[in-house]
Structure 1
Amino acid sequence: MENVRLSIGQTWRAGALALVVGLTPGAAQAFELFGFRFFEGPPPPPPEGSVTYNVQFDVVGGESDLLKSVERASVLEEEKGEPSPGSAALLSRANTDYQRILAALYDNARYGPTISIKVDGREVSSTPIDTEFGDTADVVVTVDPGPVFTFGEVDVKNRPGEIPNDETVPPSLEELGLVPGGVANANKIIAGEAALVGGWRELGYPKAQIARRTASAYHETDQLGVMIDVAPGRPAVFGTTSVSGTARMDPEFVAWYAGLKYGERFDPDAVERARDQLRRLGVFKAARIVEGETINPDGTLDMGIEVAERPLRVIGGGVNYSTLDGAGAEAYWRHRNLFGRAEQLELNASIGGVDADDPDSYNYKLEANFLKPGVFTPYTDFLAKIYAEQDSPDTYRARAVGGRMGFMHRPTTKITLAGYASFEASTIDQTDYGDGDFLFASLPLSVDYDGSNNQYNPTKGYHLIGSFEPFYEAVNGNIGAISQIDGRVYYGFAKDRVVLAARGVVGSIVGAPLQEVPANKMFFAGGGGSIRGYPYRGVGPVDPVTDEVHGGRSYLVGSLEARVKVTDTIGVVPFFDFGNAFDSEYPDFDVPLKTSVGLGLRYYTGLGPLRFDVAVPLDPYDGDPNVAFYIGLGQAF
């Protein structure tokens, strides 16, 4: 998502406006950005009777990772910036730390530790709770972690059998390291129990649970013996699905759309997919699926869906500014549930490029979208769109009206198929390539396979998108096809703190001469989703006479990134982009590729990383900016 773009030497008006607002007379207000506090005055004096303390940690052996684990577990460390309300509260914090630090040591396979916590030289465990300290206190936490333990005997009763091969199979005990001789981290036992229960659930036993567990530390051998007894319970199939909380939605449709079929073997993957189905409807502000407490005598397990609906209608909009493209604005109106089955109607209007000298060069768009979910199957949606627009990048101006309708089907959670019938009438000028009047009818088809592990911040896997669009252009009588393949791969290591990512896209238009392909259907490169650092749709073949960039019948672009987490919330991303568009039907490797380099900053949030990229073109055209900035949500690809 590209919102802001700047080039050195140009005035950023939005930035100037923000500066004026920031200089309005009055006291500066403290605020927090990316975890840092700004304009914060001196702290207020501590309340009367409170105890301000310093805390020092000492781990025998000096292991830095173990010291960090102890500090992260400590309440004293977590709350040291706030004075304790009193001496009793300080002792309470310290007493809590014994168990918290012990648990952290167990997670590090240390089962024979000695923990000492002293306040002003007094051991907390033997200090009366009514002891009074002064206004300040010194706290010293000393930990002798003892030896690293390994697993001795690992006895598992009722281990699940072979699980059907799918990508949600829980890890094995061997993969988790819960085996004799493995380092005996306590969290491996917890993870192992979850995997055992998850394995039985994958086999259709929804009420599997851990019946008994023992863990015995043998200090003479530095080993931990583990026994886990799993109670799988009874197998079950899905029973009836009830729905509660609907106001305007048809509850029978909600139950059907969730896709939990009566009589099918219980499968937690089906339950997770049902949750995704409910999110896709877009009408619920909250939705959850509740399994029945017990399995019915006939072997069925009833399922409950609890929902809370959003308001029927929503209105929204936004403004944007770019030093290259000028100001813009957009507004939309959406109805979320026209007829009780989440049918959506959305009306959009937008304007852009307002800084252009001539309003005839602005970008305009009016659009209406209709979505009907659950056509034929719960995983098939009908979509329709009509639009009128003027698109005016630097390389051409296109005025078009058109529409499309078709279906999108999700046979699995990772595969999406789409097919449409599309029509567009356009008039294109301000270019010598692909100008004139066109009547363009096509059948866009696509396959999307997402094998990555996260939509906004993937760290492993791959993502492939293929599209094929046969077309008939009536004015010139051309029959041809537009095809594209987009591939992305991700490889994370060092616990995903470093992710290598690569992307390659290739496209081709066959069946029509270059001059008879509409310019808005041609391939260009450049911009935030292509070759960063170059103008949007500003890279392509160059006319030898006019020296102007125009579109091509093929293109190739690629990107390489190293996504490095500096902290849990901050990351840096050096990147290299390359590509070009070509006159020929297929990429011409005799034509040099345009390249750029850059550096990005990432701030990781629960919704995905906030992205700020700075890119420098290595071979810009005359008049291109020498640097470009991009802001968005999610990784670049």
Structure 2
Amino acid sequence: MIRPFLAALLLALCVLAAPLARAQAERQEMPASPAFDLVVQAPDPLRQLLERHLELQRFREVSDLDDAEITRLIVLAEKDARELLATQGFFAPQVRITREDAKPRLRLVVAVDPGPATTVSNVNIGFEGDIATSTDADALAQRGAIVGGWGLAVGQPFTQARWDGAKSAALRQLVARRYPAGRISYSLADVDAASHEAALGLKLDSGPVFHLGTMQVTGVERYDPVLVPRLARLPVGSIYDQDRIVEAQLRLTGSGYYDSAFIFVDPSGDPEAAPVQVTVREAPLQKVVLGVGFTTDSGPRASIEHTANRVPGIGWRAVTKLQAEKKNPFAQTEWTGLPDEEGWRWSSLLRAERLDDGRVITYSDRIRGGRFQTSDHIDRNVYLQYENARVANPNNLALTSAEVGAGSAISANYVWTGRYFNSRTSPTSGYGLGFELGGGLTLSGDNQPFQRTVARALWFKPLPVGRLQLRGEVGAVFASGSAQIPATQLFRTGGDQSVRGYKYLDIGVPLADGVIGPGRLETITSVEWQRPIRWKEEATAFEHLLFLDMGAVADQVSELKPHWGVGTGVRWRSPVGPMDAAIAYGLQVHRLRFHLVVGFVF
């Protein structure tokens, strides 16, 4: 009888204990009530600063504060508030903290009158080390850039963040070129709270000039070890330049041979020959890329591209691409050798394409061989070329081979391009120049000599609001009237990248039955205003475009008739380059056309 009684008693205790345990757990999960409410009375954004960083906020969670502790916290909070206000340049504020016994709990009110903001009254920037004594023009220019670019000038409001930012920016300018071991040897912000003025002093110690030493490369297994130094182009003895090192990294990763590259120059090394440490991760020997796209000139397209980074036996790279689209499908293979010590490479190209302009169809073949060189700003290309163009005339129009560009030729060519922009992918200032010189002999009909010249330029001119983009191109082919020059050596224009408001290659020499043939003379000009689009007074990644394009193609100067296109659009300055969406009106064809262009090419 005792055992059943004990079991029943234990069961009753468990039933009673369960609600008590749940109630205790709920009380533990409930957040503790704040010890007091905190009210800050100050101008924005000082109010937000104090609400976020006052130590009083942390002590609100202590629930068992007594009156003595509250009084001590009020005294400490006044000092804390003054220190926070000093970081914003207010060194003589009026701070009053009052205690109000309100319900449901105590309330502390922090009232702040910040007083006048402290401004910079004097700036003294000094130098030590090589930069202080050097008479080299580059060092003098660097000193001038640091002083001229100082970010906290006389008359500007003083804050701790601005002071720290200005010092950091000056140091970055110092170590970016010539002096990677540079440092701040002295800095002082002397604040006079009574006059609300701050006198700033800064001294930069440049240390010695650093010259690059031998290159130490790790990570090379598949490809020739000479590739890294020849692509990086950081010769022994050259002066340390952070921008050139970044550009060298981009050349390595953009070469297709390396998936990643990191270059480090140790500032603790020998200044006369600092070792250049390069770590690379090589790309695969073979790569296949499938692509789909769309252009307003040619419509949808699909492509497949195969890259062999090291062809067995010769070590060259072979890039073969097939592109399918309605108007201009093509097949191409290009082989390039390794660069020599001056950056020159041998190259060869074989290309076959089909161009359908809606009236006639042009089939062309091209074989090219030569050498090219790519440097920091200038590209050069020297090559021999054979080309052949065949024109299909499905409507049996009365057109001669010379009119439509049917023929074959061999030529020698030289191409020079100089790029002096502030950005390779999305420039906003600078200019580019280019020209092509070629001469050869036609191989169709009577063999006739010909000469081809093209010059082009692009200039970005900054304005008080936005910038102007000025673009121009002129081209001419000189030969006898009977010469059957291939269409690939002649000119047609119109479309996304040339004269907007017209179809692709819709500007040329008018022929019978509405056919547009290629011409021997070409001129293109464009003026475009690019204005930033702002949102809440802040510049966004979008720009508004207004433009006027003009193009003309003919066989004689007297026959050049301008075709005008005017329009507007929006540009998105994406991380990989600009994307333009524009609507243009062709004044000669009286039609609106939509144009979509991705990327920057010159």
With structure 2 as the length reference, what TM-score do the two structures score? 0.74
Query: Residue 211 in 1 paired to residue 174 in 2?
Result: no
Matched positions, count: 521
**CA offset digits 1:271-330 (Å, max 9, x no partner):** 34432432342222221101125223x842111101122333221223345687454322
**How far did 1:148 drift?**
5.9
Cα distance in 2 for residues equivalent to 1:302 and 1:417:
31
**CA offset digits 1:522-550 (Å, max 9, x no partner):** 2112101111110110012323x544322
The equivalent residue for 2:209 is 235
Q: In structure 1, list runs of 5 or more residues that go unmatched.
A: 1-47, 77-86, 89-94, 124-130, 134-138, 354-361
Query: Residue 558 in 1 paired to residue 525 in 2?
Result: yes
Whether the 8 Å contact between 1:281 and 1:373 is mirrored in structure 2 is no
The equivalent residue for 1:28 is none
The equivalent residue for 2:380 is 417
* Structure 2 residue corresponding to 1:288, chosen from 243, 251, 262: 262
The equivalent residue for 2:427 is 458
- Could you tell me which amino acid in structure 1 is paired with residue 232 of structure 2? A
The equivalent residue for 2:473 is 505
2:491 aligns to what SS in structure 1? coil
The equivalent residue for 1:531 is 499
2:417 aligns to what SS in structure 1? strand
**How far did 1:559 drift?**
1.4
The equivalent residue for 1:601 is 570
2:329 aligns to what SS in structure 1? strand
- 442-451 or 340-349: which moved more? 340-349
Cα distance in 2 for residues equivalent to 1:370 and 1:364:
20
Cα distance in 1 for residues equivalent to 2:40 and 2:594:
44
Task: Return closer, same or farther for 1:350/1:154 CA change in 2, 3 Å cut-off.
Answer: same
**CA offset digits 1:537-569 (Å, max 9, x no partner):** 0012323x5443222111111111111221422
With structure 1 as the length reference, what TM-score do the two structures score? 0.70
The equivalent residue for 1:583 is 555
Superposition map of 1:43-58 within 5 A:
none
Query: Residue 570 in 1 paired to residue 542 in 2?
Result: yes
Whether the 8 Å contact between 1:422 and 1:443 is mirrored in structure 2 is yes
**CA offset digits 1:580-604 (Å, max 9, x no partner):** 11222x5x4x744111122211222
Query: Residue 315 in 1 paired to residue 288 in 2?
Result: yes
1:564 aligns to what SS in structure 2? strand
The equivalent residue for 2:338 is 373
Task: Return closer, same or farther for 1:171/1:228 CA change in 2, 3 Å cut-off.
Answer: same
**How far did 1:461 drift?**
1.3
Query: Residue 254 in 1 paired to residue 232 in 2?
Result: no
**CA offset digits 1:318-367 (Å, max 9, x no partner):** 334568745432211112344699842111112221xxxxxxxx643221
Cα distance in 1 for residues equivalent to 2:514 and 2:111:
72
Cα distance in 2 for residues equivalent to 1:262 and 1:491:
37
The equivalent residue for 2:7 is none
Whether the 8 Å contact between 1:529 and 1:636 is mirrored in structure 2 is no
Whether the 8 Å contact between 1:193 and 1:210 is mirrored in structure 2 is no
* Structure 2 residue corresponding to 1:628, chosen from 590, 593, 598: 593
**How far did 1:370 drift?**
1.3
* Structure 2 residue corresponding to 1:401, chosen from 365, 370, 375: 365
Q: In structure 2, list runs of 5 or more residues that go unmatched.
A: 1-29, 34-38, 53-59, 62-76, 394-398, 535-539
**How far did 1:224 drift?**
2.6
1:271 aligns to what SS in structure 2? helix
Whether the 8 Å contact between 2:296 and 2:594 is mirrored in structure 1 is no
* Structure 2 residue corresponding to 1:388, chosen from 347, 352, 358: 352
RMSD: 4.4
The equivalent residue for 1:40 is none
- Could you tell me which amino acid in structure 1 is paired with residue 306 of structure 2? W
Whether the 8 Å contact between 1:429 and 1:436 is mirrored in structure 2 is no
**How far did 1:508 drift?**
1.0
Whether the 8 Å contact between 1:449 and 1:464 is mirrored in structure 2 is yes
- 463-472 or 171-180: which moved more? 171-180
Task: Return closer, same or farther for 1:155/1:368 CA change in 2, 3 Å cut-off.
Answer: closer
Query: Residue 154 in 1 paired to residue 124 in 2?
Result: yes
Cα distance in 2 for residues equivalent to 1:572 and 1:439:
45
Query: Residue 302 in 1 paired to residue 302 in 2?
Result: no
- 144-153 or 327-336: which moved more? 144-153
The equivalent residue for 2:69 is none
Task: Return closer, same or farther for 1:303/1:561 CA change in 2, 3 Å cut-off.
Answer: same
The equivalent residue for 1:19 is none
- Could you tell me which amino acid in structure 2 is paired with residue 627 of structure 1? L
Whether the 8 Å contact between 1:105 and 1:145 is mirrored in structure 2 is no
Cα distance in 2 for residues equivalent to 1:535 and 1:397:
16
Superposition map of 1:446-525 within 5 A:
446-475=415-444, 476-494=446-464, 498-513=466-481, 516-525=484-493
Task: Return closer, same or farther for 1:176/1:335 CA change in 2, 3 Å cut-off.
Answer: same
The equivalent residue for 2:18 is none
Task: Return closer, same or farther for 1:189/1:225 CA change in 2, 3 Å cut-off.
Answer: farther
Higher helix share: 2
Whether the 8 Å contact between 2:189 and 2:199 is mirrored in structure 1 is yes
Whether the 8 Å contact between 2:584 and 2:594 is mirrored in structure 1 is yes
Whether the 8 Å contact between 1:212 and 1:229 is mirrored in structure 2 is yes
Superposition map of 1:426-465 within 5 A:
426-430=389-393, 431-432=399-400, 433-435=402-404, 438-465=407-434
Cα distance in 2 for residues equivalent to 1:480 and 1:188:
66
Task: Return closer, same or farther for 1:324/1:304 CA change in 2, 3 Å cut-off.
Answer: closer
Whether the 8 Å contact between 1:201 and 1:208 is mirrored in structure 2 is no
**How far did 1:395 drift?**
5.3
Cα distance in 1 for residues equivalent to 2:32 and 2:136:
58
- 185-194 or 560-569: which moved more? 185-194
**How far did 1:257 drift?**
3.7
Task: Return closer, same or farther for 1:563/1:210 CA change in 2, 3 Å cut-off.
Answer: same
Superposition map of 1:160-199 within 5 A:
160=132, 161-164=134-137, 172-177=145-150, 181=154, 183=156, 187=162, 190-191=165-166, 194-195=169-170, 198-199=173-174
Whether the 8 Å contact between 1:176 and 1:191 is mirrored in structure 2 is no
Cα distance in 2 for residues equivalent to 1:57 and 1:310:
59
Superposition map of 1:81-96 within 5 A:
none
Cα distance in 2 for residues equivalent to 1:373 and 1:149:
59
Whether the 8 Å contact between 2:212 and 2:239 is mirrored in structure 1 is yes
Whether the 8 Å contact between 1:58 and 1:142 is mirrored in structure 2 is yes
Cα distance in 2 for residues equivalent to 1:235 and 1:365:
53
**CA offset digits 1:244-282 (Å, max 9, x no partner):** 223423345424542333344444455344324323422
The equivalent residue for 1:37 is none
Whether the 8 Å contact between 1:196 and 1:230 is mirrored in structure 2 is yes
Identity of aligned residues (%): 18
Cα distance in 1 for residues equivalent to 2:205 and 2:163:
20
Cα distance in 2 for residues equivalent to 1:460 and 1:181:
29
Cα distance in 1 for residues equivalent to 2:345 and 2:244:
19
Q: Which has the higher contact order (CA 8 A, sep 6+)?
A: 1
Whether the 8 Å contact between 1:428 and 1:434 is mirrored in structure 2 is no
**How far did 1:480 drift?**
1.7
The equivalent residue for 2:582 is 613
Cα distance in 2 for residues equivalent to 1:122 and 1:598:
66
Whether the 8 Å contact between 2:50 and 2:84 is mirrored in structure 1 is no
The equivalent residue for 1:548 is 515
